[in-house]
Homo-oligomer: A and B are copies of this chain.
Amino acid sequence: MADADEDRADALFHALSDRTRRDILRRVLAGEHSVSVLAAKYEMSFAAVQKHVAVLERAGLLIKRRSGREQLASGDVAAVQAVSDLLAEFEQVWRGRIARIDELIATEPSPED
């Protein structure tokens, strides 16, 4: 269970760790784009862009829909929100730390007494 969650987190953060992929994700979140149209935007081969799209797809950040000979890619905002949730968990851990510090201050009114 938790292992699969970590696998998914690995995939999500790794997919987001490349600027070309983040740029592709922005475009497909804004609207559907074929792989060819996306590839035309970058100074790299079609195959390279196609691989980036595949990484985003495997992470679940993007879904593809076939339309004739084209493959239309669309960003999945739910996956982006899943990453936000992971980060919220980190922030929650930090809040726990602050809460413990506050509690300590309340319990021992002043260390120099």
Chain A residues proximal to chain B, CB less than 8 Å: 6, 9-10, 13-14, 16-19, 22, 25-26, 29-31, 75, 77, 80-81, 83-84, 87-88, 90-91, 93-94, 96-97, 100
17 cross-chain CB contacts under 8 A: A6-B22, A10-B17, A10-B18, A13-B13, A13-B14, A14-B17, A26-B90, A26-B93, A29-B90, A29-B93, A29-B97, A30-B94, A31-B97, A77-B90, A80-B90, A84-B87, A84-B91
Main SS class of interface, A: helix
Contacts of A14 in B (CB 8 A): 13-14, 17
Q: Which residues in B have their C-beta under 8 angstroms from that of A83?
A: 87
Q: Complex Cα distance A59/B15, Å?
A: 17
Query: How many monomers of this protein are in the complex?
Result: 2
Chain B hits for A26, CB < 8 A: 90, 93
Partner of A17, one of B13, B88, B93: B13
**How many angstroms between the C-alpha atoms of A17 and B14 in the bound complex?**
5
Complex Cα gap A72–B93 (Å):
18
